[in-house]
Amino acid sequence: MSDSRSVLIKSGWVLGLFSFIGIGLVSLTYSVTHEKIAENERLFILKNLRELVPGTLHDNDLLADTLQIAQAKEFAGKHPVTIYRALKNKKLVAIIAAPTAPDGYNGSIKLLVAIKENGELIGVRAVSHHETPGLGDAIDTNKSDWIHAFNGRSLSNPPIRSWHVKKDGGDFDQFTGATVTPRAVVKAVLKTLQYYQANHSNLAKIDG
């Protein structure tokens, strides 16, 4: 009786010891790596932003001047939208919004949508998605040129009723055998443009 009890207690100690060592190892690694990981994430976002709005266009820190839109009716999704503002001489030159298209073929598609101050699109990029390789992933710039079709577009080019894929009577190409993905992207870009138009004066306001 007392024998099995002492085995139990010893086992508890051993288990505790190993938990302690494990936690120690992970904490140590975390403390060594977490700054580098945060920096990696920052540089990764910045690299994507730079592709759309090169450093020559603005003189502020894009990652420092951001707005979080929690529940905009234009986006209608549950995902909050981050907006990065590019300023030059304290005036807005462009924004980059990071909306999420909720209705991709395999879940959400995270986008970056860069809009010039006058409401014209600079460009769009898909930064993360789970669309099917070979079908829906043609939204990636290294797979096809499709996403460049947004460059220079605006709410009047094409008119709003044509902001659809061709199959739905709009202006934008779909992919062979894949309509769901481009449909989701076109819709999300349109919503972002509409949001920008409705909130332009707020977004252009510079405090301080």
Ligand X SMILES: Cc1cc2nc3c(=O)[nH]c(=O)nc-3n(C[C@H](O)[C@H](O)[C@H](O)COP(=O)(O)O)c2cc1C
Binding site for another protein (CB under 8 A): 7, 10-11, 14-15, 18-19, 21-23, 25-26, 29-30, 33-34, 36-37, 40-41, 44, 132-135
- Among 48, 60, 66, 132, contact with ligand X (rule: CB under 6 A): 132
Peptide bond into 158 cis (omega under 30): yes
Judged by DSSP in three states, 134 sits in coil
User: Under the criterion CB under 6 A, does residue 124 sit at the interface with ligand X?
Assistant: no
Instruction: State yes or no: residue 170 binds ligand X (CB under 6 A).
Output: no
Residue 48 binds which of ligand X, another protein, none (CB < 5-8 A, kind-dependent): none
From candidates 121, 180, 189, 203, binder to ligand X by CB under 6 A: 180
Query: Residue 66 or 179: which CB sits closer to ligand X?
Result: 179
Among all chains, which residue has been given the structure tokens 């709009």? 170
113: tokens are 């949508």
Task: Quickly tell me which residue has 């996403």 as its tokens.
Answer: 147
Give the list of residues 6+ apart from residue 85 with CB closer than 8 angstroms, or none.
60, 62, 65, 66, 67, 92, 94, 95, 203
Q: How far is Cα of residue 169 from the mean position of the Cα atoms in its chain?
A: 28
Cβ 179 to ligand X, closest distance in Å?
3
For tokens 């005036």, the residue is: 91
* Binding region for ligand X (CB under 6 A): 105-106, 131-132, 135-136, 167, 177-181
